């Protein structure tokens, strides 16, 4: 296996972890916590918030970081990082995907994680701050879910010779 193949393999593996957990949060955990909160006879959302969410968020954050780093490394093999990230030779499919991934990474580390720390009690916050944090984290997570679709299409499209 050559270096490029290894970098791409690691990029895809890290991306599966990141996007898989993103989808888990949006399609499984958020509805499950809502249902657990509404169930007056059930155990409540504490188990998810205390045991599952912090571990899942760690994998989520570092999966995002590993995906971006390996993606940047892979760009070096397909014409150079700056060529695709800054469109020095025209807009490219992989460049659009790289920018979408970069926006998503910034959402993870700049919006989702700081606000989730407040919601999980890792960082102290008032009830008003928690309410705001919940909205911001929710919107950033849903934005990433929406951005993941064209980002994945660009990733696949590049590998299949999609021009532009």
Q: pTM score, two decimals?
A: 0.92
**Tens digit of pLDDT for each residue in 130-160?**
999 999 999 999 999 999 999 999 988 877 7
Domain residue extents for the chain: 3-159
Place of tokens 């606000």: 115
* pLDDT at 164 > cutoff 60: no
Task: End-to-end CA distance of the chain: give it in Å, rounded.
Answer: 29
Among the listed residues 139, 140, 134, the one whose alpha carbon sits nearest the alpha carbon of residue 108:
140
**Tens digit of pLDDT for each residue in 62-117?**
999 999 999 999 999 888 889 889 888 878 888 999 999 999 999 999 999 999 99
Quote the pLDDT of residue 163: 60
Among the listed residues 78, 84, 74, the one whose alpha carbon sits nearest the alpha carbon of residue 15:
74
């Amino acid at each position: 296996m050559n270096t490029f193949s290894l970098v791409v393999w690691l990029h895809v593996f890290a991306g599966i972890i990141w996007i898989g957990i993103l989808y888990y949060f949006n399609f499984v955990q958020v509805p499950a916590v809502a249902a657990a909160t509404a169930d007056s006879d059930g155990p409540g959302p504490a188990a998810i918030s205390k045991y599952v969410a912090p571990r899942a968020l760690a994998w989520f954050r570092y999966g995002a970081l590993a995906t971006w780093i390996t993606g940047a490394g892979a760009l070096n093999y397909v014409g150079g990082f700056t060529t695709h990230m800054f469109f020095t030779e025209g807009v490219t499919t992989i460049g659009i995907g790289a920018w979408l991934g970069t926006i998503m990474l910034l959402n993870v580390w700049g919006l989702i994680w700081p606000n989730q720390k407040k919601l999980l009690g890792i960082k102290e916050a008032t009830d008003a701050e928690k309410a705001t944090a919940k909205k911001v984290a929710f919107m950033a997570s849903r934005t990433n879910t929406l951005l993941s679709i064209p980002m994945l299409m660009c990733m696949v499209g590049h590998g299949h010779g999609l021009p532009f």
